[in-house]
Structure 1
């Protein structure tokens, strides 16, 4: 069910493209490996890309305890964005060209993930990157976990904006003799490249990387 927008998530420009459906929001976040986080400090306004993942109704990030960004994010509200570009839309008029995309914008304040939950959160991150990987690698040790901060932000105040389909030309431009349509774009998984110092056969999660 769609949730009501807040003053910060109310879309006014291109409102028909907006959605407040939590299922769509979760799908957009789950398809992402990177988000962009905008915040401010004494040096100005910053927008920093960082790895992200979702568990339940929260988006998670992590980093070094000394990270300036992580320190600031628990002190102020911020804005998190994710965008997937799905295609370039070529119209008959230059000003009707657009893009097909799926995007999400989240507002709120990050909170520190407690020590009891941090290990599980970081294991969830590994599973988000490559399902099945966590069980086959050395887990973090106490020193590594102690040097790492995990934060999470609620997805309660968020909005999605999506555009799909062919161009929408004005009626008076429909007779222009030029090609119109969509140039699709997609993230493609390439063939795994083994470490030259690794002679072991690829496990299932590596062999299945291209087709999963």
Structure 2
């Protein structure tokens, strides 16, 4: 696991809003552990024309992975054009958790409480079968810890239809906001209410599939209770 500070290059150095910059790499790891969806930004070319594309994807992290700073794994179909475009290209991956709605005494000072990471790096296609299986197990376990050990092994056909991208975690930035509004004194004196509305993810009890004839397993129950 690298001890390199966050934002080691100009392209991941926070410019605006440096008061919300978080320099602790451990805080990045904590956000990656909490969140469930990443957004991959890549430039794609079709019919001779290039344009940016941002798509949501499941992900997982191996802090001891083979890439500098640890490895961020993303996956999708081998037929997806955006995955082919991302291979060996510089990509931007963002992960955001919304923690609150900040209701100020003026429209200008309304905001959100959040934790948001930006990771920039060259994406590589995971070609090694062992690393590919490891990455896919990590992605499953990121959704439900321990789940991959309870499943049948992926078939060669399934593995052949699935592409895995690896992005190094070396170049990243992290910003966060917490608490209430930062209002002008005259707005506070005017007597308008200000504050914030906490936001958190809520899940319900697991719902068994119509064909499931066994109880909900412990790993699924534990995940539902933890979120």
| Secondary structure, counterpart of 2:181 in structure 1 | coil
Selected match of 1:24 from 17, 24, 27: 27
Confirm or deny: 8 A CA contact 2:7 2:172 kept in the other structure. Answer: no
User: Relative to structure 1, is the Cα distance of residues 210 and 144 closer, same or farther in structure 2, using a 3 angstrom cutoff?
Assistant: closer
Residue-pair matches, total:
212
SS in 1 for 2:12: coil
Q: CA deviation at 1:209?
A: 3.1
Mapping of residues 3-22 of structure 1, within 5 Å = 3-22=6-25
The question of whether the paired residues in 2 share the 8 Å contact of 1:62 and 1:148 is answered with yes
Using structure 1 for the length normalisation, give the TM-score.
0.94
Secondary structure, in 3 states, of the residue corresponding to 1:156?
coil
SS at match of 1:59: strand
- The match for 1:138 is 152
Show the counterpart of 2:56.
49
RMSD, aligned α-carbons? 1.5
Summarize deviations over 1:128-170 as a string: whole Å, max 9, x none: 1111222222220122112222111001010001000111111
Matches within 5 A, 1:20-169: 20-43=23-46, 44-56=51-63, 57-113=70-126, 114-169=128-183
- Looking at structure 1, the residues matched to 160 and 29 of structure 2 have their Cα atoms a distance apart, in angstroms, of 29
Which stretches of structure 1, 4 residues or more, deviate above 3 A after TM superposition?
1-5
- 2:215 is the alignment partner of 1:201: yes
Work out the CA distance in 2 between the residues paired with 1:147 and 1:11.
Answer: 38
- Contact kept, 8 Å, 1:32 with 1:52, in 2: the verdict is no
**Please, which runs of 5 or more residues in structure 1 have no aligned partner?**
none
Which stretches in structure 2 are left out of the alignment for 5+ residues?
A: 64-69
